Structure 1
C-alpha cells in the first residue's frame, strides 16, 4: 500500500483537511500501526488495523461491541480518547485497509521505569471506575488456554530456529502454567462487568498528572478480579520481570477503595498471572508465519516470543514471595 497516497486520500475523503506534513509513524502497540496526521484543521491519530486480525471470523462483531462500550465509558465520564465517528461510522475503510481516526491529544505514555506507586494508585482507581459501571452476577466468557505446545515446538524446529530452543527447553513449564491458568479461571467469582482488556502503561497517556485511556478496541465484558490482578501485576513491574510490591499494593488498595473488596483467595487465582500464554501463542504463530502479514511482523513476533517467555518464567519463580506480599 502506498502510504503517502493513502493518507492524502483519507484526509480528503473524510474532510480532515489538507495534509500540512507527511504522515508520521508513531509508537503504538504490537498489533496495529499508528500514524500522526497534521492537517489544516488540526492533528489526528490514525490507527491502521492489522489485516491479518481483520480476517478473523468474529472480528467485526468484537469491534462493534467495543465501539458500543466505548460510548458507555464516555457517558460515564471515564477519561478516554474515543474513535471519531465520521459519516455515521467509527471504523473506516479505504483500499481494503480498515482504520480508526482519533483526535490527537498531547500526553505521555510512561516507560516502565517511570511508573511510581502514585501512578499505580491512579490506574487502579480508574480501572475500578470502569468495572463499577455495569456488572451482572454471572460467569464471564473467558476462554481457557489450550495451546498445543508440542506442535509449536516441532514446527519451530524446522520453520523458526530463532525460537525453537527456548520453546523446547520450556515445554513442560508451558503446559504446567497453562494448567495453572485454566484451574484459576474456574475459581473466579461469577461476576461479569465492562473490562478494558488492554489498559497497560502504553495505552494510558498522562496529561497534567492525570491518566487518559487510549486504544479501546479490546473493550469487552469480563471478570473484574481477573483483570484487576493482571493489570496490577503489569503496572507494578511484572511485564519487565521486576516486581515492585509497593506499587502492586498501591494499585490493589486504590482499586478496592473505589470498587469494594472482592475478598480474593490469592492462592487460588495465582494462575491468572499466566494469561501471558495467550499472547505467547499468538506471537509463536506470527514467528511461524501461521498468522502473519509481513516479514516485519514476523520479526516482531520472534522478539515477543522471547520477551513473553521470560515474563512467564519470571512469574513462575516469584510465586512464594508474591503470595506472601499479597497476604499482608
Structure 2
C-alpha cells in the first residue's frame, strides 16, 4: 500500500471489503471522512491499467455530475475514492426507471470531451482450450469434466469474438457497468469501478450494459422492458443508437471468455495469489463461465430479438 497519511488521521484499522473479481478493496475511516482504497492486482493483470487517462476521465465525469464516487488519487498500485454509501444492486432485473437512468448516464459519459492517449490493441481470442482442459484433468480440478465437454463451444465462441463485425462508432466509456459495479442510493444509480474505462464500440457497451441489468444470474429471466429502458434512456440523453446485430453482445461474450480463462489459469497454478481475487472466488468464476458462456452464446438469436 502507498502512504495514505494525507487522507487524515485514521479512527480505526483499514478493513478489507471482500468480493472483488480483480483487485482488493479496503475501507479507511479517518478524521477527514471515509475512503475506498483499492489495491490493484499487479501480479497477473489481464489488461494495461491506463492510470492517467482513467483518472482524467473519472475527474471529468465527476465534475459533470455523473453519480459516482469522488476520485481522490490514482497510482499504479493503489486507487483512492471517497466512500459512497448505498445499497448493493443484486444480479436481478433492475426497475425500469433505474435502467432508464443508466442509459442517460451512458449518453452523458459519451458526450464528455476527454483526451485519451492510449490506443487499444485488440488481441485475438485464445485458442488453447484443449490444452487447458487437459491440464485441468491432470491436476484434478473440480470442474475439469465440464471444461472438457465444452471445448468445441469455447473454440466457436473465440472464433465469433474475432470475426464479428463492429459497426461503430467507437466511444470513450466505462466498459464494465454490471450489477456488482453499481449501487442504488435512494433508488438511483451510482457507478463504481472505472478501471476498465477506455474506447469501445458503442453497440458493445450498450448491449453489455442493458443485458447485465435486465437479467438474473442466468439467462432465463431476461426482462425485455428493462433492456429497452436502457436504450430509451440513452436516446433521451441525446445518444444515437447503432444498428441492431450480434455486435451488441460480442464485447460481453469476449470479456467473459477472457475472464474465465484468466481464472482457469489462476486455479491451475494451485496457490493462493497475493493479490487479486481469492482462489475460491476464481473457482466460482470458472464454474460460472463454464455454465453461463455456452448458454449465452446459444441464445444470440433470442438476444438480438431484444433489439427490434
**How far apart in 2 are the matches of 1:19 and 1:134?**
37
Task: Give yes or no for the alignment of 1:81 onto 2:69.
Answer: yes
Aligned equivalent of 1:322: 303
**How far apart in 2 are the matches of 1:299 and 1:237?**
25
Aligned equivalent of 1:3: none
The number of equivalent residue pairs is: 302
**How far apart in 2 are the matches of 1:310 and 1:127?**
30
Aligned equivalent of 1:49: 40
Contact persistence 1:238–1:315 (CA under 8 A): no
Q: TM-score, normalised by structure 1?
A: 0.81
1:238-260 deviation per Cα after TM superposition (whole angstroms, max 9, x unaligned): 65333222211111222233243
Distance 1:323 1:53, change over 3 A: same
Quick check: which has more Rg, 1 or 2?
A: 1
Distance 1:267 1:219, change over 3 A: closer
**How far apart in 2 are the matches of 1:63 and 1:135?**
14
Aligned equivalent of 1:95: none
Aligned equivalent of 2:6: 15
Q: Tell me which moved more, 306-315 or 268-277.
A: 268-277
**How far apart in 2 are the matches of 1:309 and 1:25?**
29
What is the 5 A alignment of 1:6-155?
10-11=3-4, 14-53=5-44, 59=48, 62-85=50-73, 90-91=74-75, 98-113=77-92, 115-134=94-113, 141-155=121-135
Gaps of 5+ in 2: none
Gaps of 5+ in 1: 1-5, 93-97
1:171-219 deviation per Cα after TM superposition (whole angstroms, max 9, x unaligned): 11111122222222xx212422211022212222222333222211111
Contact persistence 2:264–2:283 (CA under 8 A): yes
Q: TM-score, normalised by structure 2?
A: 0.86
1:220-254 deviation per Cα after TM superposition (whole angstroms, max 9, x unaligned): 12221111111111111165333222211111222
Q: Tell me which moved more, 18-27 or 123-132.
A: 18-27
Distance 1:135 1:43, change over 3 A: closer
Higher relative contact order (CA 8 A, sep 6+): 2
Task: Report the CA distance between 1:160 and its aligned residue.
Answer: 4.5
Whose helix proportion is higher, 1 or 2? 1
Name which of 244, 247, 252 aligns with 2:231: 252
